[in-house]
Amino acid sequence: MNIIVCIKQVPDTETKITIAQSGLDIDRSNISYIVNPYDENAVEEALRIKERLDKGAITVISMGPARVTEALRSCLAMGVDKAIHLKDESFEESDSYGTALILYEAIKKIPYDIILCGRQAMDDDNGAVAIQLAELLNLPHVSLINKIEIDETYCKATVHRKTEDNIEIIECKLPAVFTCHYGLNQPRYASLPGIMKARQKPFQEIDSDSLGLNKKEIGKAGSKLQVIKMEIPSARRAGKILEGEPQDVVKELTRLLREEAGVI
């Protein structure tokens, strides 16, 4: 069983975000990066599948600049077998389709049975790349899974997909792409031996030319969307603090909710 996990390195969700001088991106000068939390769920699930089946190989793959090495290394330290870093200046500013195309060119050349991704990246909050990758690879996909069982004999997976109100139990033929929801598992921390071992594991860098990509289709040149402005939404202003005896405060609150806010 060959499992591929696609990850993205994103700004730490605790980081304070400010806008760059260009007004078209965030200021990246003082940002610490992490592996996208949902992608960590995907890595963890890949490890668990491999442990359950007691065989297989896991490859983690990510597109991005030099700093992404660190994110890939941390996945190797968690127990992943091999890392692929898709790194090329021409990849920068790709939209979701461009990113999916780059991943597709890399992944179609290697064996896979299951491709796991996070449900969305916590920076651009798009949730599109994994599903678009499935389309390009002509694979079925199921998004938002919080449980997965593999049936090797019949080459299928049974997954639970968590929607707004239901859980859908879905059977999906393999190979397939799944996007992982928070709640699927609790990602493990890398152990010290894991970190030591990570240094010896295969780590491959691949650029645009070796993927045979048309540079007009990827990066900024290929992007079908253009950011024209980025801004911090005007902060909500703190409103009234109601003071006094609990009885009176509650009366005043219900009055305000009805008369001033008009919400009840």
Partner 1 sequence: MNKPVLAIAEQREGTLRRITFEVIGEARRLADKLNTELNVTILGFNISSLADILRFHSPDKVLVADSKILENYNSEAYINTLTDVVSKIEPSIVLLGATSIGKDVAPRLAARLKTNLISECISLDINDTLLTAVRPIYGGKTRATVTSNTPKYQIATLRQNIFKPSIENSSKTAILEKIDTEILPENLRVQIKEIIPPPKTVVNLTEARIIVSGGRGMKAPENFKMLEELANILGGALGVSRPVVDAGWVGHEHHVGLTGKIVTPELYIACGISGAIQHQAGMSTSKCIVAINKDPDAPIFKIADYGIVGDLFTIVPLLTEELKKMLRKK
d(C-alpha 46, C-alpha 83), whole Å: 14
When binding is defined by CB under 8 A, the residue of 69, 93, 122, 203 that contacts partner 1 is 122
Strands 141-151 and 156-162: antiparallel
Query: What is the Rg, in whole angstroms, of the alpha carbon atoms belonging to the chain?
Result: 22
241 is a site residue for partner 1 (CB under 8 A) = yes
Nearer to partner 1, 23 or 65 (CB): 23
Tokens of 146: 């919080």
**Shortest CB 235 distance to partner 1, Å:** 8
d(C-alpha 117, C-alpha 125), whole Å: 14
Q: Judge whether 177 and 113 are in contact, CB under 8 Å.
A: no
163 is a site residue for partner 1 (CB under 8 A) = yes
Angle among Cα 119, 120, 124 to the nearest 5 degrees reads 175
**Shortest CB 82 distance to partner 1, Å:** 27
d(C-alpha 84, C-alpha 98), whole Å: 18
Nearer to partner 1, 69 or 126 (CB): 126
Contacts of residue 161, Cβ cutoff 8 Å, sequence gap at least 6: 142, 143, 144, 145, 146, 167, 168, 169, 170
When binding is defined by CB under 8 A, the residue of 171, 191, 204, 214 that contacts partner 1 is 171
Footprint on residues 66-95 left by partner 1 (CB under 8 A): 95
247 is a site residue for partner 1 (CB under 8 A) = yes
Footprint on residues 12-41 left by partner 1 (CB under 8 A): 13-14, 17, 19, 26, 37-38
Stretch that binds partner 1, among 71-79, 84-92, 136-144, 192-200 (CB under 8 A): 136-144
d(C-alpha 227, C-alpha 208), whole Å: 24
Stretch that binds partner 1, among 60-68, 107-115, 203-211, 239-247 (CB under 8 A): 239-247
When binding is defined by CB under 8 A, the residue of 102, 172, 206, 213 that contacts partner 1 is 172
194 is a site residue for partner 1 (CB under 8 A) = no
Strands 114-118 and 82-86: unpaired
Footprint on residues 142-161 left by partner 1 (CB under 8 A): 142-144, 158, 161
184 is a site residue for partner 1 (CB under 8 A) = no
Tokens of 24: 């078209």
167 is a site residue for partner 1 (CB under 8 A) = yes
When binding is defined by CB under 8 A, the residue of 51, 92, 135, 152 that contacts partner 1 is 135
d(C-alpha 39, C-alpha 41), whole Å: 5
239 is a site residue for partner 1 (CB under 8 A) = yes
